[in-house]
Amino acid sequence: MKTPIPTATQSDRRQHTRNQVSLDCTLHADNFEISGRVVDISEGGAGIRLFFETAEGLSAGINSITIDTIGKIPATLRWKSADRLGVSFDRNPEVVAFLKANGPSQEM
């Protein structure tokens, strides 16, 4: 179901291996919600492709993410581009369980 993304170089600051997935999600902010799809996930965060909205107008107001098959977890916006964004989250038991059930997750 998932394919690990190749090992990072020294310039990549990631602490965990990213795994390619395709999971619907909803990002929650103070006054709105945004739908998207998680395209990669690790124990420390996720990359999301937005369905209709653009990430360019978003501020750091995102406070959580609901991911299909995982649930709702606290999250922080880390980066954004035209139709993608990245969130970080603390090591979460639901994310760890998902990664273990769908293949190995290794720290880099």
- State the CATH number of the domain containing residue 97: 2.40.10.220
10 located within any domain: no
- Name the more confident of 52 and 101: 101
10, pLDDT greater than 60: no
Give the mean pLDDT of 16-30: 89
Number of domains in the chain: 1
82 located within any domain: yes
pLDDT at 4: 46
108 located within any domain: no
What is the value of pTM for the model shown? 0.75
For residue 78, give every residue at least 6 positions away whose Cβ sits within 8 Å of its Cβ, in sequence order, or none: 45, 85, 86, 87, 88
* Owning domain of residue 43: 17-101
40 located within any domain: yes
Percent helix / strand / coil, the chain, rounded to 5: 10, 45, 40
From 75-79, 81-85, 102-106, the region with the lowest mean pLDDT: 102-106
